Amino acid sequence: MAPGSPPTMRSVARLAGVSMMTVSRVLTDPEMVAEETRGRVHDAIAKLGYVPHRGASSLRSGRTGFIAAVLPTLVNANFADTAHGITGTLRARGYQLVVGYTLYRLDEEERQVHSLLARRPEAIVVAGTVHTRETTRALLDSRLPIVEIWDLPQHPLDRAVGFSNHEAGRAAARFLLSLGHRRIAAIGPSAEGPARDHRGEARVAGFRAALEEAGLGGDVAVQPCPPPMSFTEGAVAMAELLRRMPDIEAVFAVSDLVAFGAMMECRRRGVDVPGRVSILGFGDFELGRQSVPTLSTVRIDAYAIGERAAQVIVEALGRDAPQGPEGRIVDLGFRIEPRESTRARAPQERHLG
């Protein structure tokens, strides 16, 4: 093995006594090469410890084998699940995922999209449907298959895989209303500052809309916290909510992590869940299935979003890509999963309204 630079295809060819083309064929289409020749090439590869230079082959072939993904963070089991879902499907087909984190910032998303695009991915997956004008332009100019995930845009840039956050929020509100609750609040992302969770905001907006439809607009309190929201933010927001609305009956939290934090705050204060307050989370994190009480939630399948996005990419990269608007949006839906943290109010407790 050369002491300096790593072995090249040329060095393998030389050692095996064949041309570079033959080495190349052994690597990409072995059947095409005589068995005896193939053996010599394999021996040379092993002897030199040759690792093909994917960047060089990409340059000539025009196929990098990269799929780019732009996600807010991976320190969130939901997005990590989605990333695994993408990888699981793509790995078998020889693609590699390059991920960029935005930390919930659109300006950072723009930067990530730019540096990801410079790697010439064959498709790009991006969380959310809200982007800067420049991000949108860059994405569109790339002429790559684009899959927006985790929400359902009216007009996708290209394709989309997800569910309606707005509808999920509405469903959450209707569920709590159906339990007889009237003093209801939400814990959601603040709509200010550089870090924004637009999908969480959509859920809260849908939640608010449903309560207003029910004539309860005035009673909706939304406790905002800056993304990324987790346990601590949920606990802090719940404390504030209990102060502002001592008679609060139900809370919808923008994620199960936030809901869990809120639930723990209740326990610390001796507020019984679901006896006094019902808490509904979102996302169906494993945590909520194991906690005591178990957490009622809006179930979505984060892994499936990734898996489906990957399938959409494979399809788009194939010849039979759908051209019309149909089939370009995949709605994976959501489902209310009632568990122990929510409970119907007893009839005598119910309000007149």
Q: Rule CB under 7 A: which residues touch DNA? A: 5, 8-10, 18-22, 24-25, 27-28, 31-34, 36-38, 50, 52-53, 56-57, 59-62
Q: Are 281 and 297 within 8 A, CB to CB?
A: yes
Is 321 one of the binding residues for its own copies (CB under 8 A)?
Answer: no
Nearer to its own copies, 96 or 178 (CB): 96
Under rule CB under 8 A, which residues in 156-215 are in contact with its own copies?
none
Nearer to its own copies, 98 or 221 (CB): 98
Shortest distance (Å) from residue 13 CB to DNA: 7
Nearer to its own copies, 211 or 300 (CB): 300
- Site pattern 25..44 for its own copies (x: CB under 8 A): --------------------
Rounded Cα distance between 19 and 13, Å, is 5
Q: Are 187 and 231 within 8 A, CB to CB?
A: no
Among 84, 174, 183, 328, binds its own copies (CB under 8 A): 84
Residues in the interface with its own copies (CB under 8 A) total 53
Side chain identity, residue 220: V
Is 47 one of the binding residues for its own copies (CB under 8 A)?
Answer: no
Is 244 one of the binding residues for its own copies (CB under 8 A)?
Answer: no
Residue 348's alpha-carbon distances to 72, 170, 248, 344, 345, in angstroms, are 45, 26, 17, 11, 8
Q: What is the bridge-based pairing of β-strands 296-299 and 335-337?
A: antiparallel
Residues with Cβ within 8 Å of 123's Cβ and at least 6 positions away in sequence, in order, are 67, 68, 144, 145, 146, 147, 313, 316, 317
Rounded Cα distance between 179 and 158, Å, is 40
- Site pattern 94..133 for its own copies (x: CB under 8 A): --xxxx-x------------xx-xxxx-------------
Rounded Cα distance between 71 and 93, Å, is 22
- Tokens at 314, concatenated: 């494979």
Shortest distance (Å) from residue 238 CB to its own copies: 11
Nearer to its own copies, 131 or 166 (CB): 131
Among 47, 137, 244, 335, binds its own copies (CB under 8 A): 137
Nearer to DNA, 35 or 192 (CB): 35
In sign, the C-alpha dihedral spanning 279, 283, 286, 289 is: positive
Side chain identity, residue 151: D
Side chain identity, residue 51: V
| Helices and strands per DSSP (H, E), number in the chain | 13, 12
Shortest distance (Å) from residue 87 CB to DNA: 23
Using omega within 30 degrees of 0 as the cis cutoff, is the peptide bond preceding 121 cis?
no
Q: Which stretch binds its own copies (CB under 8 A): 137-145, 196-204, 208-216, 238-246?
A: 137-145
CA 61 to centroid of chain Cα atoms:
31
Residue 322 binding target from its own copies, DNA, none, CB below 5 to 8 Å by type: none
Side chain identity, residue 71: L
- Site pattern 254..293 for its own copies (x: CB under 8 A): ------xx--x--xx-----------------xx-xxxx-
Rounded Cα distance between 88 and 99, Å, is 14
Is 73 one of the binding residues for its own copies (CB under 8 A)?
Answer: yes
Is 150 one of the binding residues for its own copies (CB under 8 A)?
Answer: no
Rounded Cα distance between 230 and 85, Å, is 23
**335 φ, ψ (degrees, to nearest 5):** -155, 135
**182 φ, ψ (degrees, to nearest 5):** -130, -30
Shortest distance (Å) from residue 17 CB to DNA: 7
Is 59 one of the binding residues for its own copies (CB under 8 A)?
Answer: yes
What is the contact surface with its own copies in residues (CB under 8 A)?
1, 6, 49, 51-56, 58-59, 64, 73-77, 80-81, 83-84, 87, 96-99, 101, 114-115, 117-120, 137-138, 141-143, 230-232, 235, 260-261, 264, 267-268, 286-287, 289-292
